[in-house]
Structure 1
Amino acid sequence: MYYAILAYHEEGIVESWSEEEDAALMTDLLEVNDRLVAQKSLGPAARLGSTQNAVTLRGKGPGIVIDGPFAETKEELLGFYVVDFPSIERAVEAARELRRANPTAVYEIRPISLYVPGASLPSGEGN
């Protein structure tokens, strides 16, 4: 079964890290990533761009586009992982590994009811 592991954090804190602090964190997270890849349990994963560059589409019909994400929380969704495990307990274990690497983040684990891989992006797209 596929699960989404959604990574939430206070964006201001993440953006305050020095390049060295961010690189050290990414090294730790990529070690978890590599283990999950070796287990053939990891699908797409992404670190999302700044919420200041995001928009939200909501409302009826064609909808209305508003600035930024619309959430009343301190934390923003800053990234996600798609994992494939036989149970939610195993997905929680994977999220715990990620949390050991980034203990100040909050991880939400949610079953995916539909997974359509889509086409690969051309090189340089989506960066």
Structure 2
Amino acid sequence: MKFLVLIYGNPESRKVWDGLSEEQKKESMVGYTELNNALAASGELVVSHSLDDPAATKQVRIRDGQPMTTDGPFAEVKEQLAGFYLLDCESMERAVEIVPRIPEAPFSIVEIRPIRDLNSLT
């Protein structure tokens, strides 16, 4: 089964990150590298990426058949999507087991969402 693991940041988690020493930030990035390597070795990692600042985004809405764009950020909430993992693992329980290994998990919100196989609908 495939699961999308969404990592959200907010002003408080950004303060935590900004308050870390350069060595602690480096250790955190090593943690991501180790997690990516372990998930790749187990065959569970499909892809993982960090996302750019929400201010760099565009929101696209289709109105009267035409795309209308607006510059970001857009969310009326504090949490912003910061990065993700796409995993292919045996169960939701296994995906939940992986989350504590994400270096930002202790001070962020992490959501796990099953991926629908749209091919099975046809």
TM-score, normalising length: structure 2? 0.79
Counterpart amino acid of residue 4 in structure 2: A
Task: Point out the structure with the larger helix share.
Answer: 2
Structure 1 segment 11-30 matched on structure 2, within 5 A: 13=14, 16=18, 20=22, 21-30=24-33
Change in 2 beyond 3 A, CA 1:19/1:46:
farther
Q: CA RMSD in A?
A: 2.3
Larger Rg: 2
% identical equivalent positions: 34
Task: Point out the structure with the larger strand share.
Answer: 2
Q: Tell me the equivalent position of 1:41.
A: 44
Find the aligned partners of 2:20 and 2:62 in 1 and give their Cα distance.
39
Find the aligned partners of 1:49 and 1:108 in 2 and give their Cα distance.
19
Q: Which runs of 5+ in 2 are unaligned?
A: none
Q: Tell me the equivalent position of 2:8.
A: 8
Q: Tell me the equivalent position of 1:91.
A: 95
TM-score, normalising length: structure 1? 0.76
Change in 2 beyond 3 A, CA 1:45/1:17:
farther
Q: Which runs of 5+ in 1 are unaligned?
A: 116-127
Aligned length: 113
